[in-house]
Amino acid sequence: MSERYSPTVRRRRLSEELRRLRHDARMTLDDVVKATEWSRGKLGNIESGERQRPQVTEIRTLLDTYGVTDHDTREAVLDLCRQSRERGWWVRYRDVLSSKFVGFEAEASTIYNWELAVVPGLLQVPAYTELITQTALVRNPKDVARVVDARIKRQRVMFEDPQPPDIWFVFDEIALVRLRHHPEVLRAQIANLIEAADDPRITIQIVPYDRLHPGTGGPFVIMDFPNTVDPSVVYLETDTDGLYLEEAEEVARYRRLFDHLRLAALLPEETLVHLREMTI
């Protein structure tokens, strides 16, 4: 199984399917609580996907409660449950990675990433990751190495997959300007950006540091998925696990914002020229 297979996406799809089946059965949450003698909290966690590893027996009970008798439908839902119980590679790094974010990223077909203050994580070289991790007051060398290892693993899984996603990166040049006192890191990072830009599935644009732009509200990532039943997600980075927006209007608003950022940035070919000039 590909390491980009995502139990997170399957869990969200399972939640959507369970809600649909409950509505088709014309049952409220209270009706289901009464029929199953479960707590409302347990049912709510299963429907919302908060329950990380739902039991197949629990899902079978809900299918019985909703009167779902079609064999193919039942097996499809139970298979979703089984798939959602798998553990992604990122579980080994849950101390330094947002499992939910990487879970969505793992199966995305298209990713749009805006970064305000740092080079996008998928484009960082180890020396850069180490530097910014130390800047974030992580001092223990083992903790720093752990972050670097997780970043390298995330990049390898993403870019060495036979079918990697299309990714469009836009970031503020200030992320590179701040490296001028670390020339070796700057050279390595720019070389990596130039190499990455040669990949036909990767687009990189830089917003010049002296240019005003509409992205000062903070970084965000828009993720689209290959299966149309999986709605797009916007991830907003916070000091904790981040915020996830799925409403169509919210996603559309961030798509418009990303379009404006692309217009504010240098064109991809101009970005390459600018990067090469920075190494002279």
Inform me whether the pLDDT recorded for 204 exceeds 70. yes
Question: CATH 1.10.260 residue ranges in the chain?
Answer: 7-84
Give mean pLDDT, residues 3-25.
87
| Upper half-sphere CA count for residue 145 (Cβ side, 13 Å) | 3
Q: Which residues in 183-274 belong to E strands, given as ranges? A: 202-207, 220-224, 233-236, 243-245
Confidence band, pLDDT 50/70/90 cuts, at residue 52: low
25-34, 92-101, 141-150, 178-187: range with lowest mean pLDDT: 92-101
Predicted local distance difference test score (pLDDT) of residue 98: 85
Distances (CA, A) of 181 to 128, 173, 206: 12, 15, 20
Beta-strand relationship, 220-224 and 233-236: antiparallel
Instruction: Please give the Cα distance from 165 to 149 (Å, whole number).
Output: 22
Residue 2 pLDDT exceeds 60: no
Q: What percent of the chain has pLDDT over 90?
A: 74
For residue 137, name the pLDDT band (cuts at 50, 70, 90).
confident
Fold classification of 7-84 is: 434 Repressor (Amino-terminal Domain) (1.10.260)
CB 179 within 8 A of CB 135: no
Q: Contact at 8 Å (CB) between 22 and 77?
A: no
Average pLDDT over residues 36-45: 92
Token look-up 């101390």 returns: 95
How many whole angstroms separate alpha carbon 214 and alpha carbon 194? 25
What does the pLDDT look like over 88-103, one tens digit per residue?
888 899 888 888 899 9
pLDDT of residue 138: 81
Class of domain 95-278: alpha beta
Poorest-pLDDT segment among 88-102, 143-157, 181-195: 88-102
Residue 1 has pLDDT above 50, yes or no: no
| Mean pLDDT across 108-137 | 95
At residue 88, the pLDDT reads: 86
Whole-number percent of the chain with pLDDT over 70: 96
Tracing tokens 């990166």 back to the chain, one arrives at: 169
Q: What's the pLDDT score for residue 228?
A: 83
83, HSE (Cβ side, Cα atoms, 13 Å): 19
pLDDT, residue 69, reads 94
Q: Considering only CA atoms, which of 215, 259, 252, 254 is closest in space to residue 235? A: 254
Every domain of the chain with CATH number 3.30.870 lies at 95-278
Q: Is residue 151 predicted with pLDDT exceeding 50?
A: yes
Return the H-helix or E-strand segment holding 104: helix 99-107
Q: Please determine, for residue 182, whether its predicted confidence score (pLDDT) is greater than 90.
A: yes
Provide the pLDDT confidence category of residue 280 given band limits of 50, 70 and 90.
Answer: low
- Residues whose CB falls within 8 Å of the CB of residue 184, separated by 6 or more in sequence, listed in order: 127
Q: Band of the pLDDT at 266, cuts 50, 70, 90?
A: very high
3-state SS assignment for residue 169: strand
- Give the pLDDT of residue 162: 85
Q: What is the pLDDT of residue 239?
A: 67
Which carries the bigger pLDDT value, residue 238 or residue 65? Answer: 65
